[in-house]
């Protein structure tokens, strides 16, 4: 397509070429007359000699041969990983053996470089903040998941069989409140993530009471301390456990500052909210677990992968453990 300020349209190119080829104008005179460079005048004259008026149309700049082009089997694998596992260019690159830039170019050419149907597009610019040292701020949150019945739920077997497994599920510690309704209960995933290193610690527990949250936080602090992190400040939402007097008194005694997000603004606690989403995609719903026990048992292994091996784009595609110093048993 010819842009609005182009000195030559197809008609102008034809006139230029005829002046040179048919009328015998010198290249320099024709270039000056039509206000183009000498190489441009030469190019259109050569095309006119080769193809006549048909040679005046624009040609594709795509090369005739691309010997280093990404093989089609690799392209298909990249597309498959993008759609089926919702992975980004860095994660896909580690699986297919290509550079992240190559993966991104393939995703762009296939028009799947942005997953707008998954990500919420607010239209507002993203505001990010970074801490200067480990432990300066730790984000804490709880994610509520439905328990999986013994034998597997509807994701593994379909609606009919999943409903039957749910109905026959029996938990003596949890009586049925409504006759005929399964007493599966919920899994409460308590998570804490350091804002600087992105080091994460999570546990799948049975409730979200203040006592349970405090017990989890005690174990989380021990985990962070084993990686050389001393917690200075904590950020949570406005859940009942975090508004309790027990939570307030515990942090006052420890000398840890506690802050809460503004009501209905989960973006403020975005780092742990993003961890929750990653937990769902790569742990909770990644496999078809046949029981809640199996799913909870897989959490610790996934956390190790997240902290020690999984590339994090906010850390320059390095795992969170690379930002930790003075880790226990790290030095001999």
The 10s digit of each residue's pLDDT in 107-116 is 999 888 876 5
Name which CATH class applies to 138-173+180-323. Answer: alpha beta
On the question of pLDDT at 120 being above 50, the answer is no
Write the pLDDT tens digit of every residue in 247-302.
Answer: 999 999 999 999 999 888 888 899 999 999 999 999 999 988 988 999 999 999 99
The pTM (predicted TM-score) of the whole model is: 0.65
pLDDT of the residue at 128: 66
pLDDT of the residue at 125: 41
85-89: Cβ within 8 A, 24+ apart:
85/281, 85/286, 86/115, 86/118, 86/281, 88/313
- Segment 37-51 shows an average pLDDT of 93
Whole-angstrom Cα Rg for the chain: 31
Q: Which residues contact 1 (CB under 8 A, 6 or more apart)?
A: 58
Write the pLDDT tens digit of every residue in 49-76.
Answer: 999 999 998 888 888 888 888 999 999 9
Residue keyed to tokens 């989403």? 277
pLDDT of the residue at 118: 42
Q: Which residues contact 91 (CB under 8 A, 6 or more apart)?
A: 81, 310, 311
pLDDT of the residue at 71: 92
DSSP conformation class of 281:
I
Write the pLDDT tens digit of every residue in 2-25.
Answer: 666 677 888 899 999 999 999 999
- Segment 304-310 shows an average pLDDT of 96
Domain boundaries, the chain: 10-56, 72-109, 138-173+180-323
- Segment 72-96 shows an average pLDDT of 90
pLDDT of the residue at 117: 43
Between 154 and 306, the higher pLDDT residue: 306
How much is the mean pLDDT over the chain? 87
- Segment 131-149 shows an average pLDDT of 93
């Amino acid at each position: 397509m010819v842009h609005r300020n182009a000195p030559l349209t197809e008609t102008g190119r034809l006139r230029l070429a005829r002046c040179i080829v048919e009328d015998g104008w010198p290249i320099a005179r024709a270039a000056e007359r039509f206000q183009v460079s000498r190489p441009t005048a030469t190019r259109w004259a050569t095309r006119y000699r080769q193809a006549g008026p048909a040679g005046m149309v624009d040609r594709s700049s795509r090369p005739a041969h691309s010997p280093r082009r990404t093989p089609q089997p690799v392209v298909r694998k990249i597309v498959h990983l993008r759609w089926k596992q919702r992975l980004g260019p860095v994660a896909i690159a580690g699986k297919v053996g290509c550079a992240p830039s190559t993966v991104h170019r393939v995703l762009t050419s296939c028009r799947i470089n942005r997953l707008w149907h998954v990500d919420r597009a607010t239209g507002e610019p993203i505001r990010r903040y970074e801490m200067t040292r480990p432990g300066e701020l730790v984000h804490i949150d709880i994610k509520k998941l439905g328990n999986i019945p013994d034998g597997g739920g509807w994701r593994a077997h379909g609606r009919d069989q999943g409903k039957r497994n749910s109905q026959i599920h029996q938990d003596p510690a949890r009586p049925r409140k409504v006759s005929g309704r399964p007493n599966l209960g919920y899994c409460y995933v308590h998570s804490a993530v350091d804002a600087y290193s992105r080091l994460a610690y999570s546990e799948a527990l049975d409730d979200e009471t203040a006592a349970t949250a405090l017990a989890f936080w005690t174990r989380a602090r021990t985990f962070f301390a084993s990686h050389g992190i001393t917690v200075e400040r904590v950020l949570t939402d406005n859940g009942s456990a975090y508004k309790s007097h027990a939570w307030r008194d515990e942090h006052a005694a420890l000398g840890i500052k506690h802050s809460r997000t503004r009501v209905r603004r989960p973006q403020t606690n975005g780092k742990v909210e993003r961890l929750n989403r990653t937990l769902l995609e790569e742990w909770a719903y990644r496999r078809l677990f046949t029981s809640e026990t199996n799913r909870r048992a897989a959490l610790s292994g996934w956390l190790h992968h997240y902290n020690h091996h999984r590339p994090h784009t906010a850390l320059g595609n390095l795992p969170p453990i690379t930002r930790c110093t003075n880790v226990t048993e790290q030095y001999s």
